[in-house]
Structure 1
């Protein structure tokens, strides 16, 4: 899923790039999915450089703040049954 999304992103970022000497910089955390060969190949294919964030540095990763807010909202709804999870996630996302 991440690989497909990244391919889509890179295709759109690079399609209008007439200056082939310019490189995009991908800043990724250290999740294993970000370090597999497919991601490295995509970066190479689209002339991108990868920079990995330092380990254990969620303060440098903006998505971590979003996940924290979402988890807090879901917990505040006190989900006790599976059928409520979808509703709780929906409410949490709308509150962000």
Structure 2
């Protein structure tokens, strides 16, 4: 395992930061301490939201995580999957395969028996299984990359209109009114086809 990469998803325990940065809910004195420790010029008399805005501006662009630091000490790299894309992680397919096999064979519902079945099913996973799943994920990833231009073109063409009128009542008042004649407000609502 001279050269190896650990693929991780976005589970919170994979993403523990080396240094905990303040959040908007952090106490004001802690925000001030963070700014002072990072040599950021600030006025301690401003509000918490103003301090937090300054903190966000000065936070490191490249966040370092404990897992990355630990693995780098041993010559390993971490590859983080994009959020909400388990289909890009072959281990998810392995887990599904093992869980289905265990569920099909589990007749006692005892923890020790389930553990034994899981170990047995994991031992049946072959190098070819892994290779096939990795190839499947690579193929799917390439399909997503090829289709990215469609999403880019679509989002570039979106136009958002913002109502700059003086009151929401002008546009929505009759729809959301508290009047007893509820049909009047619903007359302007059309069903989607």
Same fold, TM-score > 0.5, yes or no:
yes
1: CA distance, partners of 2:106 / 2:86? 25
Matched, 1:68 2:96: yes
Matched, 1:93 2:122: yes
Higher strand share: 1
CA RMSD of aligned residues (A): 2.9
Q: Measure, in 2, the Cα distance between the counterparts of 1:83 and 1:43.
A: 32
Aligned twin of 1:52: 80
Structure with the higher helix share, 1 or 2: 1
Q: Aligned to 1:56, what secondary structure does the other structure show?
A: coil
Based on CA coordinates, which of the two structures has the bigger radius of gyration?
Answer: 2
**Aligned mates of 2:88, 2:115 — CA distance in 1:** 29
Q: What's the offset of the Cα at 1:58?
A: 1.1
Q: Which runs of 4+ in 1 moved over 6 A?
A: 46-49
**TM-score, with structure 2 as normaliser:** 0.32
Residue deviations 1:31-65, cap 9 Å, x none?
A: 22221222242366578775521222111001111
Runs of 5+ in structure 1 lacking a partner?
Answer: 1-8, 14-23
1:33 aligned to 2:13?
yes
Work out whether 1:77 is the aligned partner of 2:105: yes
Q: List alignment gaps of at least 5 residues for structure 2.
A: 19-65, 126-193
